[in-house]
Homo-oligomer: A and B are copies of this chain.
């Protein structure tokens, strides 16, 4: 699946991987398209129109077409997109043609839930190791993996070619953990701790902060309840993410 472009009318030339330099906003939506496409594939459809896929992914169809056009021309006018082909293309673009190994650091409340999460495996990732600083947790088996001590991180990361790390420790420990991850060769970090991480250039960080999401919702609640006292009962749908 990774590599089926024989230099067709739009296929990329010879051995060049062709990095189309996608807009960041497009990259952020590709996973949504991918999820929708898998869902559509399961229902037996083998082609889908931009309108249909856009609806399934919850976006505007023009935006979807423009996004997909950045990957190349994989649709057929008058027909739509070939579902299987498009899945392959998006997976290739996202680098999901190889199953990526992930290290999870901090096996507490949240870490346990993440470690047991099936959606990891089904969407292209493999939890390759669990780490914690608490000796009481080291050795505990979770979902077929034993928790290891954080001091083993560098060794294990190298052995398992881990390039992605997930931080689920308290905020106070997060920067230290990030430093350790970077030192171990990790170049992408997903941070659940509510704090800002500083990392060297070349390392990507994304964060997930539950409280921020709730506070954004709170803002809109605040706004809505203020609006109800005014005449024009305006309202908007789905807040941007």
Contact = CB atoms under 8 A, between A and B. Distances in A.
Interface of A: 17, 19, 22, 24, 27-28, 30-32, 34-36, 56-58, 93-96, 100, 102, 109-110, 112-114, 116-117, 119-120, 123-125, 163-164, 187-190, 194-196, 198-199, 201-227, 235-241
Given A95-B219, A96-B218, A212 B31 contact: yes
A207 B238 CA distance: 10
Given A196-B57, A219-B93, A221-B164, A208 B213 contact: yes
Contact of A113 (B113, B188, B190): B113
Contact of A240 (B24, B30, B117): B24
A189 B239 CA distance: 10
List the 10 shortest-distance A-B pairs measured between CB atoms, nearest first: A95-B222, A202-B235, A58-B196, A188-B217, A123-B211, A31-B215, A31-B212, A113-B113, A17-B226, A204-B239
